[in-house]
Amino acid sequence: MTTHHSPLTSNTSHLLVTGGAGFIGANFVNYWLNNYPDDRVVVLDALTYAGNLASLEPAKNNPNFHFVHGDICNQELAERLLRDESIDTIVHFAAESHVDRSIHGPDTFIQTNIVGTHSLLKAAKSVWLDSHSSLLRPQSSVLKPYRFHHVSTDEVYGSLGPEDPPFTEHTPYAPNSPYSASKAASDHLVRAYHHTHDLNITTSNCSNNYGPYQFPEKLIPLFIINILEGKPLPVYGDGLNIRDWLYVEDHCKGIDLILQKGRPGEVYNIGGNCEKTNLEMVETLCKNMDERKPSSSLTSYSSLLTFVKDRPGHDRRYAIDSSKIKKELGFEPYESFETGIRKTIDWYLQNESWWRAVMDGSYREWLDRQYGQKHN
- Would you tell me which residues interact with ligand NAD (CB under 6 A)? 18-19, 21-25, 45-48, 50-51, 71-73, 93-95, 97, 112, 116, 151, 153, 183, 206, 208-209, 215
Among 12, 55, 97, 102, binds ligand DAU (CB under 6 A): 97
Residue among 183 and 194 whose Cβ is closer to ligand NAD:
183
Catalytic (active-site) positions: 154-155, 179
73 binds, among ligand DAU, ligand NAD, none (CB under 5 to 8 A by kind): ligand NAD
Of 93, 115, 109, the closest CA to residue 45 belongs to: 93
Of 324, 347, 327, the closest CA to residue 335 belongs to: 347
Residue count, binding to ligand DAU (CB under 6 A):
19
Taking residues 137 to 156 in sequence order and writing x for each that binds ligand DAU by CB under 6 A, - otherwise, the string is ----------------xxx-
Write down the least CB distance from residue 268 to ligand DAU, Å. Answer: 15
Separation between Cα atoms, residue 244 and residue 272, nearest integer Å? 6
Burial code of 62-82, b = ≥16 C-beta within 10 A, e = fewer? bebbebbbbbbbbbebbbebb
Write down the least CB distance from residue 11 to ligand NAD, Å. Answer: 29
Question: Max CA-CA distance within the chain?
Answer: 70
Residue 362: strand, helix, or coil: helix
Separation between Cα atoms, residue 198 and residue 265, nearest integer Å? 8
Q: Burial, 61: exposed, middle or buried (Cβ in 10 Å; 0-12, 13-18, 19+)?
A: exposed
Among 234, 265, 295, 302, binds ligand DAU (CB under 6 A): 234
219 lies in the binding site for ligand DAU (CB under 6 A): yes
24 binds, among ligand NAD, ligand DAU, none (CB under 5 to 8 A by kind): ligand NAD
* Strand order across the beta sheet in which 267-270 lies: 65-69, 40-45, 14-18, 89-92, 147-153, 201-206, 267-270
Write down the least CB distance from residue 302 to ligand DAU, Å. Answer: 14
In the complex, the residues that contact ligand DAU under the rule CB under 6 A are 97-99, 153-155, 207-208, 218-219, 222, 234-236, 241, 243, 278, 311, 318
